[in-house]
């Protein structure tokens, strides 16, 4: 299961203008990833979240309001969470047990700025 912060359902896409290319690229990266993996490991998910767009989901366009703020992988069976604040290319992953009250209280995040191709901001006709 995965979620994006962009409309994905055909019903909603019909109501709105064409989505931006970066949204399509992110969805395509996820669909390609899952089509290539019959069984997905934690390391596979971390690799997808760490790889830069368009192959992966990581992006450093913070000045354009489009940068990776956090990445998370949940193990709901073990009640554990792997989380990376900021870019997983610059910041280490932490493992947290859900419901645990003690742990890390300060976390240094490095925000590296990169320009993305102009095509990221163009609209796609795909709805």
Task: Judge whether 82 and 95 are in contact, CB under 8 Å.
Answer: yes
Q: For the segment 83-120, what is each residue's pLDDT rounded down to a tens digit?
A: 999 999 989 998 888 887 776 677 788 888 998 878 77
pLDDT under 70 in the chain at which residues?
1-20, 103-104, 125-127
Query: Residue 41: what pLDDT?
Result: 92
Beta bridge partners of 74: 81
pLDDT score, position 12: 60
Give this prediction's pTM.
Answer: 0.79
Q: Where are the domains of the chain?
A: 10-113
| pLDDT score for 112 | 87
- Work out the angle between the directed axes of helices 42-50 and 21-36 (0-180°, nearest 10): 150
- Is the Cβ–Cβ distance between 57 and 30 less than 8 Å? yes
Specify the pLDDT at position 27. Answer: 83
Q: Burial code of 99-116, b = ≥16 C-beta within 10 A, e = fewer?
A: eeeeeeeeeeeeeeeeeb
């Amino acid at each position: 299961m995965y979620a994006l912060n962009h409309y994905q359902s055909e019903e909603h896409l019909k109501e709105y203008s064409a989505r931006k290319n970066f949204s399509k690229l992110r969805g395509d990266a996820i669909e390609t990833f899952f089509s290539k993996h019959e069984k997905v490991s934690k390391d596979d998910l971390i690799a997808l979240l760490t790889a830069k767009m368009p192959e992966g989901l990581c992006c450093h366009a913070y000045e354009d309001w489009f940068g990776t703020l956090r990445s998370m992988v949940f193990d709901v069976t073990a009640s554990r969470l792997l989380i990376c604040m900021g870019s997983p290319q610059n910041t280490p992953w932490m493992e947290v047990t859900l419901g645990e009250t003690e742990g890390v209280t300060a976390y240094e995040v490095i925000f590296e700025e990169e320009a993305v191709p102009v095509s990221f901001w163009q609209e796609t006709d795909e709805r």
